Structure 1
Amino acid sequence: MRRAVIDMWGVVHHYRFEVSGTNDGDAVYRTETFDVADIDTTRIRRPPWYAAAVNATSRRGNSTARSS
């Protein structure tokens, strides 16, 4: 059995997968689940080397480098 809760933007908030069977005559069961919470509260920071990389790229005349 598979179940998922997905919002209108396609973000999966909950997922559950259940399977059962046998292995060498023994019954086996497996369940996997995950939940996603606190969306939009995670902060991602640029790595310490980011500014130096942008500056080095900009000096080479690369017009696609941005520091924002």
Structure 2
Amino acid sequence: MEITFVAKDPGSNPNQSPTLYKTDRGSWVVQGWSIMDPEVRRKMNIPEGEDAVEIPDRLVPFFLQDGS
């Protein structure tokens, strides 16, 4: 899989994370805050081999800025 940087969260300091990447497989990779709350994870019913991260609303507009 090849990834292309799209955006870092400009409102998150000091390291400007979360981060969005576009893949060559027609998908997105999101680097974000780990969801560690066991009750939230239980409600999500995340299968083995998958995970979930949280990103702020201010990062969502970057999903459509890469032109694909």
Which TM-score applies when normalising by structure 2? 0.29
Normalized per residue, which structure has more helix? 2
Structure number with bigger Rg: 1
Q: Which has the higher contact order (CA 8 A, sep 6+)?
A: 2
Normalized per residue, which structure has more strand? 1
